[in-house]
Amino acid sequence: MRINKFIADSGVASRREADRMIADGRVKINGKQITAPGVDVDVYNDAVYVDGVRIDPVRREIYIMLNKPKGCITSVKDDKGRKTVMDYVECGKRIFPVGRLDYDSEGLVLLTNDGELAYNLTASKNDVPKTYIAKAEGEIKEEHLKKLRSGIMLDDVMTKPAKARLLSYEKGLSRVEITITEGRNRQVRRMFEALGFNVVFLKRTEIGGVRLGGLARGAWRYLSPKEIKKLKELF
């Protein structure tokens, strides 16, 4: 973030006034005096001082990933008293989940207070890829994968082309990796059901190039600057 915007977001001054403060040598970043308004500041790690007083933006953007377990809903609250993803995250800020993940599914959920990014990630026009690992009863063959890739009719509307590959078939269960760019209600499960397969396990592993990795079930962490940049560069 540009230093003049950082100062303006802190409520100390307008951007124009911040430019004057910077030019007058009243602003320091990590103890170093600056005089150029185009300098960038890391809002998470840099210490900014105006006239010797440290300042912070009134609203700092928060980006979190959660490995959602089964048995909770992807919502801020639930009128039925069920657990929500908010029961697993404690960051001291008002945040909300981006999009949905089924009650019976697990895996990657993003939470933020950045409304613009949340909108862009969930807007159907943006085709943000989301990758899942699905375990389904029965043997899924190449003919079924081709149908998933070309599109499945759901509610009289074809799904957009997906990526799908068989990872394994053992003990009557097919393990498939599938990537979709839509967010219809229970879409992945319904795509398999339309082909006659019952999904017994579903885990989201990636959104927009950001991967869940080895994060434990029910655990959360802040996104790295690199991950945040990756998401924002999608749009």
Catalytic residues: 102
DSSP codes joined into one string, 72-112: -BSSS--TT---BGGGT---SS--EESS---TT-EEEEEEE
Identify the helix (H) or strand (E) that includes residue 28.
strand 27-29
- Closest to 203 measured CA to CA, from 63, 65, 69, 99: 69
Q: In a 10 Å sphere around its CB, with 0-12 CB exposed, 13-18 middle and 19+ buried, how is residue 182 labelled? A: middle
What is the DSSP secondary structure assignment for residue 213, as one 8-state letter? T
- Phi, psi for 108 (deg, rounded to 5): -70, 125
Cα–Cα distance between 230 and 208 in angstroms, integer? 8
Cα–Cα distance between 101 and 164 in angstroms, integer? 19
